[in-house]
């Protein structure tokens, strides 16, 4: 009997190292996915809607693990949970809210919790945020990072409320991109930041936030390119619904990516963890949104 030859070449040590790194990454992502599922079950009906499926937890966990593979499972936990909270907030404002008054009430309640308030008994979104706030307070960098965390939270909340208003009067692309804080990336980035354990001079912190905001705009547009059909089905705002075509959006992605790399270059040597995180997030989202979506949807 003639058998076709099998490709059984043994991997080189370099290949083994790469495989081992990916194995560790997948293990951390798996632990994070289980944590997210357990976490979601602990906040009433906050994550009860059908789009919060196992695939969302899995891809969210892997995105966070890939962004900082040098961090341990414990170090990744708060940022990963913060991502999940942002998805709950997004659902509350974009899909559950029936009026501008409801949106504004959510914004006020979340800011009150961030400032130390106690959420109402049935406010599962606020209770989850309070737990994140309290865990953040245990970090050695908390006094330095908390004002940044609070500021980014406010930017995200007001950005989401502004986009809700734009449903009846869509903006131009420039205004839409200026409101990219509604994506929540910069808020998660700052949450991730405190795990570096470093305090930065004001000028350096400002530069790191500025480049994070540019990366956020890149991801905003990549998200829009990858989720246009779902956004159209759900009635969500999307850059492609603002009278621009995919080619123009891709040009913006290229320009913003180039500008991000220019700003990252002088910061890389002194901040390898944060700049590495930003660069990896650009690459990850470029690949991810070419194939899939976080939300489960029909």
Among 94, 123, 91, 128, which Cα is nearest to 109's? Answer: 123
Question: Which pLDDT belongs to residue 298?
Answer: 53
Assess contact for 289 and 222: CB atoms under 8 A: yes
Question: Which pLDDT belongs to residue 4?
Answer: 42
Residues 158, 180: Cα–Cα separation, whole Å: 11
Question: Which pLDDT belongs to residue 33?
Answer: 95
Among 22, 46, 23, which Cα is nearest to 95's? Answer: 46
Cβ within 8 Å of residue 223, ≥6 positions away:
183, 285, 289
Residues 85, 136: Cα–Cα separation, whole Å: 14
Give me the domains of the chain, ranges plus CATH numbers: 26-288 (1.10.600.10)
Question: Which pLDDT belongs to residue 139?
Answer: 84
Question: Which pLDDT belongs to residue 11?
Answer: 57
Question: Which pLDDT belongs to residue 3?
Answer: 39
Tell me how long the chain is: 298
Residues 131, 183: Cα–Cα separation, whole Å: 21
Listed as ranges, residues in the chain with pLDDT below 50 are 1-8
């Amino acid at each position: 009997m003639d058998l076709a030859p099998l490709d059984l070449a043994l991997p080189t040590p370099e290949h083994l190292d790469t495989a081992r790194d990916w194995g560790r990454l997948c293990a951390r992502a798996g632990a994070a996915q289980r944590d997210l599922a357990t976490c979601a079950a602990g906040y009433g009906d906050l994550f009860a809607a059908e789009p919060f499926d196992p695939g969302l937890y899995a891809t969210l966990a892997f995105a966070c693990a890939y962004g900082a593979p040098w961090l341990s499972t414990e170090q990744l936990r708060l940022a990963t949970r913060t991502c999940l909270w942002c998805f709950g907030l997004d659902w509350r404002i974009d899909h559950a809210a029936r009026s501008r008054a409801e949106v504004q009430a959510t914004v006020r309640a979340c800011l009150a919790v961030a400032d130390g308030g106690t959420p109402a008994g049935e406010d599962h979104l606020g209770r989850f945020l309070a737990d994140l706030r309290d865990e953040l307070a245990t970090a050695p960098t908390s006094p330095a990072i908390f004002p940044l965390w609070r500021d980014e939270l406010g930017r995200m909340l007001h950005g989401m409320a502004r986009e809700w208003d734009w449903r009846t009067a869509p903006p131009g692309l420039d205004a839409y991109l200026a409101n990219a804080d509604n994506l929540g990336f910069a808020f998660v980035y700052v949450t991730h930041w405190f795990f570096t354990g470093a305090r930065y001079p004001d000028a350096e912190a400002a530069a790191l936030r500025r480049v994070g905001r540019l990366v956020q705009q890149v991801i905003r547009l990549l998200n829009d390119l990858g989720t246009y059909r779902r956004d159209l089905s759900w009635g969500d705002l999307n850059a492609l619904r603002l009278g621009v075509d995919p080619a123009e959006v891709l040009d913006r992605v290229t320009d913003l990516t180039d500008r991000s790399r220019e700003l990252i270059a002088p910061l890389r040597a002194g901040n390898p963890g944060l700049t590495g995180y930003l660069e990896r997030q650009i690459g990850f989202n470029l690949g991810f949104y070419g194939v899939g979506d976080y939300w489960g949807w029909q």
